[in-house]
């Protein structure tokens, strides 16, 4: 019985999670009634099979305020910075969150950012 259990455990596929994207830097600037976000990410992109594919701006309740899709891998450009303008932030909001994702592991990294 012990050998059967060991064999079953060894034969069962286990998902392997790679390193999630790291949020290296966040720059925020208000322009009128909208905001611009410059986000620097690093991720061990290997090509189309595994890469950081987006980041988003969330309010503190987890509601999405803006999304920046990353349309290709950045294998040779690490870390890299991409921007998103025109993000509407509700008046009186003191903090938001930046969340990063990769195409394999999904949304796994979140960082809180002060707007003041």
- Flag whether 8 is in a domain: no
Q: Show the domain range for 79.
A: 16-114
* Alpha carbon of residue 37 to chain centroid: 13
82: enclosing H helix or E strand: strand 80-87
Q: Read off the pTM.
A: 0.80
- Flag whether 7 is in a domain: no
Which pLDDT tens digit goes with each residue over 68-116?
A: 999 888 878 889 999 999 999 999 999 999 999 999 989 988 999 999 8
Q: What is the DSSP string of 47-61?
A: BTTB-EEEEEEE-TT
**What's the rounded Cα separation, in Å, for the pair 59 and 63?**
5
- Domains of the chain: total: 1
- Flag whether 32 is in a domain: yes
Q: Give the angle 40-84-68 at the CA atoms, nearest 5°.
A: 80
């Amino acid at each position: 019985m012990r050998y059967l259990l060991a064999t079953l455990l060894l034969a069962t596929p286990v998902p392997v999670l790679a390193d999630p994207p790291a949020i290296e830097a966040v720059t925020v600037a208000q322009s009128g009634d909208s905001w611009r976000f410059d986000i620097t990410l690093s991720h061990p992109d290997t090509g189309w099979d595994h890469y950081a594919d987006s980041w988003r701006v969330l309010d503190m309740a987890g509601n999405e305020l803006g999304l920046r899709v990353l349309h290709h891998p950045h294998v040779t450009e690490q870390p890299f910075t991409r921007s998103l303008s025109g993000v509407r932030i509700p008046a009186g909001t003191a903090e938001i969150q930046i969340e990063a994702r990769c195409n394999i592991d999904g949304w796994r990294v979140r960082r809180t950012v002060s707007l003041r």
